[in-house]
Amino acid sequence: MKVLFVNPPFKPQKGKFSRTSRSPAITKGGTIYYPFWLTYSAGVLAKNGFEISFIDAAADKKEVTELMASIKQLSPELIVFDTSTPSIYSDIEIVDSIKNILPKSFVVLVGTHPSALPNETISLSKNIDAVAVKEYDYTIRDLAVCLRNKQDISKVNGLIYRNKNGDIKTNEPRSLIENLDELPFVTEIYKKFLNIRNYFFAACDYPMVMIITGRGCPNRCFFCVYPQVFHSRKYRFRSPENVVEEFEYIKNNLPEVREIGIEDDTFTVNKKRVQEICCLLIKKNIKIKWYCNVRVDLDLETMKIMKRAGCVLVTVGFESLSQEILNNIHKGTTVEQIIKFVKDTKKAGLLVHAAYMVGNPGETKESLENMLALAKKMNTDSAQFYPLVVYPGTEAYKWAKDNGYLITEDYTKWADENGGYSCLISTPFLSKNEVLNFCQKANKEYYLRLRYIFYKLAYTLIHPYEIRRILKASKTFFNFLFQRG
């Protein structure tokens, strides 16, 4: 049985749409994430003996006509189709086109949007055969087995489907995957099906790969879509031995890779496990750079071990530098922790990519100016100022809707005309345009300071091997700075 996994195009003439990003967009900074959830599912099916194909049309910048030609040639019986909120209507138009050329194919949609709104999503077109909600690795496996064996799919947990009469049926929910070690390495699928030079993260060396070592996040941030609608707030993780084995696989099989990105929502939830991974990397003498997502409660001792094990960068969501706003968004951190965190990373020799979210509850023009001033003072290696984007299924979406701040429910507005970040809310204190204008201003002011420019020049003198990363990141990011965000 042939199974095709598709990451569909969205505005390919404008750039590469990063559907797996926590805020899907065509970023003017050039970032495009690997489709890692789709590739994990593909790996599970390959492991179970299915003939699989994979098309990342977003990364390849394929036009729809080109995608249709490829799908027709492959003629799969099951098509697993990724989606996102900004692209959902475009995605479904492509599904309709697929059904025109392959009417007997079974099309199942996956992603955060159908997970948050399964019945609404499947109702958008009669050509959608099913929606697999939340973690879908084993849902797709079980669906494929049933279709291959011509069995009833009503027992496939985690599936919402359309029966022969056209009625929408909801199956039992699927339990979370507890033993993540049993999943195949996602990088095996990258190697077989993807061009790794298609993917890019501006703060990271190039080329790079992204892996997942744990799913879920126990923190309560009100805006984050993955823990709330996809993987839950229960953190489950791979064993240190399994993670290090994938590092070895990358070194041996993808020698062009210069850096590994650990894209867990929060890699450092379990600090003991982080230290065990680092000690194994050191013991096995696996020398490759890596970065990870962390929180500001990370201690200096763990930072130092991470540095010794090859970590060069930590990405962190500060979100705000106002304690009132941090409390409003349930961040669970303090401004004092943030300041100490930045000082400790400098002691440990780690670079920091800081993310600042604009437009949170309680945000005012004054709080934004205070945030920008302190961000400049902390002077992290890189920083990103972007609007709060509220996604269906999150507390942030409910807050915006309940308070009358949500200015549209048209999902096409979740991206601007170029496929970039949009702003969906307007509060009594900040309008949509004020949020977007501040993001543009803050990004320009941060990077065009003499202090920052001299810091980068001095850094490259001390670390000449970083020139490649800085030049590539600068080329894409400065394009962003001088365009309206």
Of 114, 105, 22, 98, which is closest to residue 57 (Cα–Cα)?
A: 98
Contact 338, 318 (CB under 8 A): yes
Q: Which CATH number fits domain 201-481: 2.30.40.10, 3.80.30.20, 3.30.70.980, 3.40.190.10?
A: 3.80.30.20
* Separation between Cα atoms, residue 77 and residue 95, nearest integer Å: 14
CB contact set of 478 (below 8 Å; sequence gap of 6+): 447
* Separation between Cα atoms, residue 422 and residue 132, nearest integer Å: 27
The pLDDT score that the predictor gives to residue 453 is: 86
Pairs from 369-375 (Cβ < 8 Å, separation ≥ 24): 370/321, 370/322, 371/320, 371/321, 371/322, 372/442, 372/445, 372/446, 374/321, 375/318, 375/321, 375/442, 375/446
CB contact set of 333 (below 8 Å; sequence gap of 6+): 295, 296, 297, 326
DSSP annotation of 459 reads H
Q: Where are the domains of the chain?
A: 2-170, 201-481
User: Using omega within 30 degrees of 0 as the cis cutoff, is the peptide bond preceding 207 cis?
Assistant: yes
Tally of CB atoms within 10 A around 49? 11
Q: Which residues is 79 bridged to in the sheet?
A: 4, 107
3-class secondary-structure state, position 384: strand
The pLDDT score that the predictor gives to residue 484 is: 44
- Determine if residue 76 is left, alpha or beta; phi over 0 gives left, psi from -120 to 50 gives alpha, anything else beta: beta
What mean pLDDT value characterizes the chain? Answer: 94
* Separation between Cα atoms, residue 128 and residue 131, nearest integer Å: 8
- Burial code of 162-175, b = ≥16 C-beta within 10 A, e = fewer? beeeeeeeebeebe
The pLDDT score that the predictor gives to residue 485 is: 39
Taking the alpha carbons of 223, 228, 229, 230 in that order, is the dihedral positive or negative? positive
Residues of the chain with pLDDT under 70: 465-466, 468-485
Contact 184, 39 (CB under 8 A): no
DSSP annotation of 174 reads P
CB contact set of 43 (below 8 Å; sequence gap of 6+): 183, 184, 185, 186, 188, 189
Contact 267, 315 (CB under 8 A): no
How big is the chain, counted in residues? 485
∠ CA 244-250-253, nearest 5°, is 135
Q: What is the pTM of this model?
A: 0.94
State pLDDT tens for residues 241-269. 999 999 999 999 999 999 999 999 999 99
Contact 421, 385 (CB under 8 A): no
CATH fold of 2-170, please?
Rossmann fold (3.40.50)
* Separation between Cα atoms, residue 172 and residue 175, nearest integer Å: 9
Distance of CA 191 to the CA centre of its chain: 20
Of 477, 221, 169, 449, which is closest to residue 327 (Cα–Cα)?
A: 221
Query: Could you tell me the CA-to-CA distances from 198 to 7, 190, 201, 249 in Å, in that order?
Result: 13, 11, 11, 20
Contact 309, 348 (CB under 8 A): no
